[in-house]
Each structure stands twice: as C-alpha cells, then as structure tokens.
C-alpha cells in the first residue's frame, strides 16, 4: 500500500526492466543525477541479462534506489503498479529503461504539473538518438472512425493522420509549449500520486503496449487534463529487448489494441463491427508475423551489446 502521507516534493521514478540491456544502467545513472528530489524504484520482470545484478552493485550505497525482483514477467503495467505500491513521493514518474533524463527534466515536468491545476498527467517530447522527435509523443485515441477517415483520405490522395497500430499520431509541427492532448508516449509519464491512485493505476489486463493509451484515457475521463510539455525533450533510444522479440511485442500490441477498442471505442457498441475489427487486427498481425519472426531471429543472432559499451 502507498504511504498514508506521501512526501511532498519527492518524485518516485519507476523503471521496469525486462532483459533491457545496458541502456537501463545509463537510464538509472541519468535519473540519479536529477536536481530534483527523487527516489528510484527499479522493477525487474525476470531478466536474464545480468542487468538487475549490475544495478544492485552499482547502486548498493545509494539509499534512493530500491530493486524489486519479480519471479516472472508480469507485463509492464502490472510491474509499474507493484513499484508504485512502494513509492513514497507525491508524484510518480513512469520511465522506460531506454530513456535518459537531463538533470533538470524532473524539475521542469513537476513545474508543468504545478502550473496547470487540472493537470493529471504530463508527458515530454521523446526523441531518438538522432535528436528527431518521436511522433508518438503527441497522439490521439485510436478510434476506428479516425482510422477509416485516414485511409479514405489517403486513398483519395489527400494525406491524413498516420494510423499505426497503437495510436493515432498527429501531423504537423510539435508544440513548443505545454498543450492539452489526448495521449502522450508511455516512455515517460508524470502523474500526481493522488491521480494515479484515484484511477487505479495501470490496467493489468494489458501485458505490453496500449496500457499508456488506456491510462491517458482514464485520466481524462476522471476530469483531469493530459498535457504534453512541448519544451521538455528526453532521449529515447528504443528498447533492445523489443528489437530482439518483435513478434512477441507485436502479438501483445495487437492484443492491447483489441482490449482498448472493446473498452473505449464507440464502434464496439455495434455488434456487426466487432467481428470485423477483430478479424482486421489479427489479419494484420498474421500478414506481418513472418517478417517480424525473421527480423527477430536476425537480431537474436547478433551478440548482446556489452554493458560497458551501452552509452
């Protein structure tokens, strides 16, 4: 259970690792250099790459760090919930292990949260190693009606929002200031602890992917604003674990999209549409599965990157 009185001004950073490679060490090192008061809770989903052991050794003398080891891979949302149950801070920062914070990132995100009385969740502009912003930082709910409108517009040569499996990206330049959005990237999300608890944390019915869209939607449905801090940028290297298991990731992404559709899309109220959406999702998975299986096999044949070379 969370503390009865969370520590004011303390940000609890929860990082979930699952064979995440050396990037996780860089993530932890950068987080601990924060100028804001933080504690760091690393939740291990049964990693076998030696990273949890390396983290335990590297942070043995730092009281701000706790390592929680699960006996199995519980999925992302379930692992965050277990880490959050140990958190002492009045704000919770959910952070992917392939992200690297600047020393002032936490302080700037907390300032954005404090400046907006209705704010229930704040995200940042995540950027690739080349410095380019990831369009997934700025998303809308992946509604069926939006997907159909986009495909129709593209068929007529009129462009339209990109519609990847996992959320509708918004075209055009990213904002330079904080703006209200429907969803942000799950690679980094800051919430007041009270909001996280009030909405029940992550839905553990998702294993991997789409739980961020679900959380953003429930925060909005509870009357809070989801904000993108357009002036805050965070390096996101993209996970090595996902690259080595693309078929596994894609399976859970499609499964997550189906769960999101049934829970939130008005189209799910129409019984004739439900089987069509189900068939379309899994036909898409089946068509992409051979390529994903082959690319995963190739990635696994490459040697793991040494932890000391992961910068």
In this prediction, residues 147-161 reach a mean pLDDT of 68
Enter the tokens of residue 307. 């932890």
- Comparing C-alpha atoms, which of 99, 114, 155, 82 is closest to residue 11? 114
Looking at residue 175, what is its pLDDT? 78
What pLDDT, in 10s, does the model give residues 53-62? 999 999 998 9
Q: Is 46 left (phi over 0), alpha (psi -120 to 50) or beta?
A: left
Looking at residue 164, what is its pLDDT? 42
Any idea which fold 7-138+174-238 has? Spore Coat Polysaccharide Biosynthesis Protein SpsA; Chain A (3.90.550)
Looking at residue 163, what is its pLDDT? 39
Q: What is the pTM of this model?
A: 0.87
Enumerate the β-bridge partners of residue 188.
Answer: 95
Helices and strands, counts by H and E, the chain: 10, 11
Q: Which string of b and e fits 284-310 if b means at least 16 CB within 10 Å?
A: ebeeebeebeeebeeeeeeeeeebeeb
Q: Do the Cβ atoms of 39 and 64 come closer than 8 Å?
A: yes
Please determine, for residue 1, whether its predicted confidence score (pLDDT) is greater than 60. no
Please determine, for residue 160, whether its predicted confidence score (pLDDT) is greater than 90. no
Domain ranges of the chain: 7-138+174-238, 244-302
Confidence band, pLDDT 50/70/90 cuts, at residue 154: low
Lowest mean pLDDT segment, chosen from 62-76, 191-205, 286-300 = 286-300
- Comparing C-alpha atoms, which of 295, 272, 277, 8 is closest to residue 144? 277
Enter the tokens of residue 30. 């950068």
What pLDDT, in 10s, does the model give residues 232-286? 999 998 755 566 778 888 988 999 999 999 999 999 999 999 999 999 999 999 9
Please determine, for residue 77, whether its predicted confidence score (pLDDT) is greater than 90. yes
For residue 235, give the H/E element and its range. Answer: strand 225-236
Task: State the helix-helix crossing angle for 23-32 and 51-58, rounded to 10 degrees.
Answer: 30
For residue 168, give the H/E element and its range. Answer: strand 168-169
Q: Do the Cβ atoms of 121 and 189 come closer than 8 Å?
A: yes
Cα(168)–Cα(142) distance, integer angstroms? 5
Looking at residue 4, what is its pLDDT? 67
Please determine, for residue 148, whether its predicted confidence score (pLDDT) is greater than 70. yes
Looking at residue 139, what is its pLDDT? 86
Average pLDDT of the chain is 87
Please determine, for residue 79, whether its predicted confidence score (pLDDT) is greater than 90. yes
């Amino acid at each position: 259970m969370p503390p009865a009185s969370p520590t004011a001004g303390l940000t609890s950073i929860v990082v979930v690792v699952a064979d995440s490679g050396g990037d996780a060490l860089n993530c932890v090192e950068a987080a601990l250099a924060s100028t804001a008061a933080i504690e760091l809770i690393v939740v291990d989903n049964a990693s076998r790459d030696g990273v949890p052991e390396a983290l335990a050794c590297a942070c043995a003398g730092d009281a701000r760090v706790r390592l929680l080891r699960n006996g199995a891979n519980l999925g992302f949302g379930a692992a965050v919930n277990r880490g959050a149950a140990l958190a002492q801070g009045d704000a919770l920062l959910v952070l992917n292990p392939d992200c690297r914070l600047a020393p002032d990132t936490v302080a700037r995100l907390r300032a954005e949260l404090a400046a907006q009385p209705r704010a229930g969740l704040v995200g940042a502009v995540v950027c690739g190693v080349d410095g380019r912003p990831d369009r997934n930082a700025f998303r809308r709910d992946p509604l069926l009606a939006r997907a159909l409108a986009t495909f129709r517009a593209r068929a007529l040569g009129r462009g339209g929002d990109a519609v990847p499996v996992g959320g509708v990206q918004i075209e055009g330049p990213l904002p330079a200031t904080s703006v209200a959005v429907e969803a942000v990237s799950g690679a980094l999300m800051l919430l007041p602890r009270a909001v996280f608890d009030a909405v029940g944390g992550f839905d553990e019915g998702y294993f991997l992917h789409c739980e961020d869209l679900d959380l953003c939607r429930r925060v909005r449905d509870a009357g809070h604003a989801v904000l993108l801090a357009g002036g805050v940028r965070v390096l996101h290297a993209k996970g090595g674990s996902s690259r080595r298991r693309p078929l596994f990731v894609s399976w859970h992404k499609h499964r997550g999209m189906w769960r999101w559709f049934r829970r939130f899309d008005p189209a799910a109220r129409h019984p004739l549409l439900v089987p069509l959406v189900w068939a379309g999702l899994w036909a898409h998975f089946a068509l992409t599965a051979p390529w994903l299986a082959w690319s995963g096999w190739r990635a696994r044949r490459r040697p793991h990157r040494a932890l000391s070379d992961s910068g």
